[in-house]
Structures are given as structure tokens and as C-alpha cells.
Amino acid sequence: MDTSIKYAKKLDSEDPLAEYRSRFYIPKRETLDMDGERRWIKPILYMDGNSLGLCSSDAEEEVIAELRRWKSLTSRGSGVTEKIQEMQAKLVGAEPDEVAITAGATVNIHSLVSTFYQPRGRRTKILADELNFPSDNYALWGQVRLKGRDPEEDLVFVRSRDGRTIQEEDIIAAMNDEVAVCHLPSVYYTSGQLLDMRRLTEAAHDHGIIIGFDCCHSVGVVPHYFDEWGVDYALWCNYKYMNGSSGAIAGLYVNRKHFGTMPGLPGWWGNSWSNRFDFELEFKPAEDAQAYCIGGSSSLGMAPLMGSTRMILDAGLDNVREKSLKITQYLMDIIDDELSVEPYGYGVGNPREPERRGGHVAVEHVEAKRISLALRDRGVLTDYRPPTTIRMTPVPLYTSYEEVWTVVQHLKAVIDYGEYEKYSEEQRGMF
């Protein structure tokens, strides 16, 4: 492993996606320099794109265009939503009419699960897992209750063997004729493990189970082939790897074999364009994925997605995935080489195989929380996930190998100077 900055620069010079960085706004902040002595105004080292993607000029221009349309009252019927739907369908391996851009991720979980979870006879259970993002499991809990059932009985969690990952075979072993719906993440938000969605879909269908995935941590960085895999439903947010701004309007997918299934949470936006403004008493849902929308979505929340989605398609999702795997491998290799030894004690908590990895590296350290805080003062933005994970995400469109190299130097420095010891374990909240 060549851990020199020269090698990092060489990798940057060979990076076919390097030109995209200049289209993103990389914020500057007053931060500590490498020896922890002086403060400088300099660009932050942003390793948090799996939480909130950065703003691009492409996204910004679309917001300005949307504001103009609003001012001139030409935003209605501008076709923006349909264009984003068409583009995002390509990212997830679906036809445009199987995708809707609507609401937020958790709302879409409720909409989809309320539709597909129909406990009948012996089939009364939802199969989930204990490591999924809490919002998913809260929504599942609520949906079980709304069907008049007891979550203690009917919400079944597959347990993790190691606290970080879930084995596909453990999920498959829990599939039986009591399970109505299996709801899983594509990528685990802490460990970054990517589940084998094709295999799980096949297994679910062998058992007569409907299967859906929360793809918040994979859309925009991992290619999906929902139609080919036969996934029943999926949803994703658009503010992480999709760079669509905080709270951007989310996406959902419904396999066309389910078109016509009555939505569990009907609303007027579930009508089609042709009958929405008929204002009829009876709900006549659209014949495609639009049916699972509930209310109208903010056009300003939608607008950045025009620019940010187009950018990913232009760059090529396969190229994005290739760089993501390469740059995360680079980070893992330097950690193994330089940071796993004394006095540093860092480790890698995500699976190593490329086909089992999402877009982030789970850097492990017993002092993860205090180290994250110390890094923040050094202008390195990561995020901490209890108990011992620092998530680090080199985003293919805007992170350079040199930045990753520099982040590693900061990881060393906070230990070398005992800097993390100045921070309190008690701090809570988002960081």
C-alpha cells in the first residue's frame, strides 16, 4: 500500500469523475490546522454525504428556475416531477410509471406498508431486522397496530450475530408462511453492509412473501435493478447520495405487477393527472405508482433534484459505483496499514467484499464519539453512530483521494495530540 500524498494525487489525476467536484459548493470554515495550534479559514473535509449531500450549482440553478416559474405562475404543469421520475427510474432499474417522487422516506414507508401489509389467515407477520434505521421499525410497529394486531406477536426482528451486520441466511431462515411482508434496508446505516436484494427477493417470493426495501443509503451510489430482481416495493430519500437538499422530496417504487392494488393511505395526489381535478367523492387511484402518493409535494423541495439527478446520470451510475468502491477501498487500506496499529487503534466495521458494501466506510474506535467531535473542530465532518462507529463517506462526485489522505492524517493527529480527550462523552444530539 502506497500511503504517500503523491499516490493520492496520482489517483486524483486518473479519476474520470474529478471534474464534477468543481460543480459543488464545498463550504469553508475556521478550523484547526494539522498540529492543532492555529485556526484557518479553509474548505471543510466533508465525509458526511451519506447523511446530507452537498449543494451543486446544477441543483441551485434548478431552484432559481423553479422560483422564476413560481413568480410567473408557470410552475404548475411544468413537468418537473415527471422528468425527475423518469431520470430516477433509470437509477433504480424501473419503468418511469413504477416510480413516484413524493413526500418523505418515512411517509412513503407508511404508504407502502399500509398497502402491502394485509394480514390474513396464518400470514399475519412483518419480517424486519433489528439494525434497520429506527424510523422504519417505528413505522412497521405503527402499521401492525393500525391493522388491529399486536406488534409483540406480528413484528418479527431478525437479530444480528455481531451487532453490525445481518446475515442473509438468517433473514431467509425466518421466512415462512406466517410472514406477509418482509421490509429491509438495502444498506445498513451504521455498518454500511449492502444486502443481496436479488437473493432476498427470490427467497421471499419462494415463500409467498411480499418484499420491500428502504434504499435511502444506496440510491445514487449503488445501481439497483428492481424490475429485474422482481422487488415488490421500495422507497428512498433524496438528500443523501442524491444531493437533493435537506428534506428533499423522496422516491418510491411499486412493481407494475401490483398496479391496481388499493393504496392503504389514499389522498388526492394518488389520483392521476387526468382525474385529480375532477374532485370526485369516490377515490379512483391512478393505475401506476402515482396511486401511492398522498398529498402534493413542495415544488421547491423537488427542484434541486432536476439538477442533482441529471448530474449522476451524466456521470454514469456505474462510474459512480466504481469510484465509490475504489475510494472507500483506498480509505480502508490506509486504515489497515497505518491506523490499526498502536497508538491509533482504528478498525473497519463494514464488510470487506465489494458486493457487500454500500457507499460509506464504518470506521471503528472505542473513542468514536469524542474523536468525531475533535475531527469537527479540525474541519473534518463525519458522523458518529453509537456505540463505536464514525461513518466516513467519500462521495464519488465531489471527494478527492487527496482529501481522504488528509482525513487520515487528522485521524492520526487527534490521537497523537490526545486532542479527543478534551471533549465530553456526554454531548448528545446531531454530530
Ligand X SMILES: Cc1ncc(COP(=O)(O)O)c(C=O)c1O
**Residues in contact with ligand X by the rule CB under 6 A:** 104-106, 133, 135-136, 185, 189, 214, 216-217, 237, 250
Quick one: which H or E segment has residue 268?
none
Residue least distant from ligand X (Cβ): 106
Specify the 3-state DSSP secondary structure of 107: helix
295-to-107, 290, 356 alpha-carbon distances in Å: 11, 11, 36
Q: Which of 8, 216 has the CB closer to ligand X?
A: 216
User: Which residues, other chains included, contact 10 with Cβ-Cβ below 8 Å and sequence gap of 6+?
Assistant: none
Q: Which of 17, 171 has the CB closer to ligand X?
A: 171
Counting every residue, how long is the chain?
431
CB of 302 to ligand X, least distance (A): 14
CB of 103 to ligand X, least distance (A): 8
Do 85 and 101 meet the contact criterion of CB atoms below 8 Å apart?
yes
CB of 172 to ligand X, least distance (A): 21
User: Which residues, other chains included, contact 11 with Cβ-Cβ below 8 Å and sequence gap of 6+?
Assistant: 326, 330, 401
Q: Which of 293, 415 has the CB closer to ligand X?
A: 293
CB of 114 to ligand X, least distance (A): 15
- CA 253 – CA 232 distance, rounded (Å): 8
CB of 13 to ligand X, least distance (A): 34
Q: Which of 240, 378 has the CB closer to ligand X?
A: 240
293-to-103, 128, 259, 363 alpha-carbon distances in Å: 7, 24, 13, 38
CB of 106 to ligand X, least distance (A): 3
Q: Which of 105, 408 has the CB closer to ligand X?
A: 105
Q: Dihedrals φ, ψ of 408, to 5°?
A: -60, -40
* 359 closest CA partner among 392, 388, 319, 402: 392
CB of 303 to ligand X, least distance (A): 17
Q: Which of 118, 135 has the CB closer to ligand X?
A: 135
Q: Which of 137, 299 has the CB closer to ligand X?
A: 137
* 30 closest CA partner among 48, 17, 42, 16: 42
422-to-39, 288, 377, 390, 429 alpha-carbon distances in Å: 17, 56, 11, 18, 18
Q: Which of 59, 237 has the CB closer to ligand X?
A: 237
- CA 136 – CA 205 distance, rounded (Å): 21
- CA 53 – CA 239 distance, rounded (Å): 6
Taking the mean position of all CA atoms in its chain, how far away is CA 380?
21
* 289 closest CA partner among 166, 116, 42: 116
* 290 closest CA partner among 313, 263, 267, 272: 272
CB of 3 to ligand X, least distance (A): 32
CB atoms within 10 A of CB 95: 16
Q: Which of 344, 431 has the CB closer to ligand X?
A: 431
CB of 133 to ligand X, least distance (A): 4
Q: Which of 217, 357 has the CB closer to ligand X?
A: 217
CB of 64 to ligand X, least distance (A): 24
| DSSP string of 274-339, one letter each residue | HHHTT--SS----SSGGGG--S---HHHHTHHHHHHHHHHHH-HHHHHHHHHHHHHHHHHHIIIII
Q: Which of 3, 246 has the CB closer to ligand X?
A: 246
CB of 122 to ligand X, least distance (A): 30
